[in-house]
A = this chain, B = another copy of it.
Amino acid sequence: MSKEFIFTYQLHTTEQEVGRMAKSIAIEQTIEMPEHLVTDEWVRDTIIGKVISTSQKAEDIFEVKASYYVEISDYQFPQFLNLLYGNISLYDGVKITNIELPDSFLKHFKGPRIGIDGIRNKLKTYDRPLMATALKPIGTSVAKLADFCYQFAAGGIDMIKDDHSLADHSFCRFEERVRACMQSIEKAEKETGKRTLYFPNVTGRVERLEKQIEFAIDQGVGGIILHPFIIGLDLARYLIDEYAGKICFMGHLSMSGVFLQKHHGLAPHIVLGTLPRLAGFDAIIFPHYGGRFKFSKESCVSITEACRNKLGSLNSGIPMPAGGMNLENVDQEWQIYGKDVVLLIGGSLYGRSPDLKANVECFQKKLTT
């Protein structure tokens, strides 16, 4: 295991430029001034990033690896993100395709506390992918959303999440919604004996996040949804650390697309796998390849691996493909993920028939036959 950060850059440039560009990145991300002006030998030797390899991958694509002294990160998320992609986010044609994180850095992060095993234990469901759906659309009354909850739970769904635009609107208050949805779910659970975990969407001014989370915990929710790419990964990490173990944390993909450009940003498995796992998310929503966001099958598989593969001593997170996943062919499509996955089907679960309970039963049948 490396004792430094090793970042792999994919540079969209020419053979003439690649060396200069690699050096320029290593300087921009550290000393941020011309190297000849640095008078301290220690800074020149230790602080400036080191380009350790360069290879050509296509006519205009080069792969460069550089290493960075781990202490530069200050062992905290914001400064790590700064080092990873702060100023060079303003460069053209620089994308990070892989990151190696030393244990000396990883040990400062607690990762997912509940993870796949914890969620399966809560649900006592071990032998198939988990089923999730979303309460939608925004604008629907609390009473109606609670009725959807009842029907979904009666059908045996494992997890119900709020749509990510449900906030604390005058037409659908957070507290009323959480209370009513939990009552519906508890009613269904009493009838069926099957547990369903409800995840309200926690979004709002920083001042109110902790109050909302505490209210949700008091109501007995299974977890909550946060938007790490909107509220910031370290604020998410902080909230998760604060309430760790009491509930599960689901990370939403909202705004993550800004990192996911062809020649710019970070590889999908970093954005929707490694970073939210570092923050401690138990479940991470990402775009399913067959859905309405253009995402490749390879990206989906790489995210799944980043959620589950060894990362220091951090627990695994559960990948949660979504975004236009279809009830019709879910029996085919889940297989690329393996069974430790949560399949989130929204619109298509509402669309099959007005009988939401029957729709969930159909969903489950698709996973068990």
Contact = CB atoms under 8 A, between A and B. Distances in A.
B235 A77 contact: no
A31 B32 CA distance: 45
Contact of A347 (B33, B204, B235): B33
Copy number in the complex reads 2
A255 interface: yes
Nearest to A47: B139
A85 B350 CA distance: 25
A138 B30 contact: yes
B136 A32 contact: yes
A257 interface: yes
A29 B255 CA distance: 11
Nearest to A35: B137
A192 interface: no
Contacts of A206: 234-235, 237-238
B139 A43 contact: yes
A91 B295 CA distance: 10
Contacts of A207: 238
A123 interface: no
B91 A32 contact: no
Interface stretch (A50-58, A160-168, A183-191, A360-368): A160-168
Contact of A72 (B29, B165, B258): B165
Interface residues of A, number: 83
A137 B47 contact: yes
A93 to B, nearest CB: 10
Contacts of A261: 261, 264
A289 interface: no
A84 B151 CA distance: 32
B227 A205 contact: no
Contact of A255 (B82, B140, B205, B323): B82
Interface in A221-241: 227, 230-232, 234-235, 237-238
Contacts of A129: none
Contact of A230 (B33, B82, B137): B82
A225 B360 CA distance: 50
Contacts of A253: 87, 90
A216 to B, nearest CB: 16
Contacts of A118: none
A87 B205 contact: no
**Which 7 pairs, one residue from A and one from B, show the smallest C-beta to C-beta distance?**
A232-B232, A89-B257, A31-B137, A86-B254, A43-B139, A90-B257, A47-B139
Interface of A: 24, 28-34, 37-38, 40, 42-43, 46-47, 71-72, 74, 76-79, 81-83, 85-92, 134, 136-141, 144, 163-165, 167-171, 203-207, 227, 230-232, 234-235, 237-238, 253-261, 264-265, 287, 292-295, 323, 346-347, 350-351
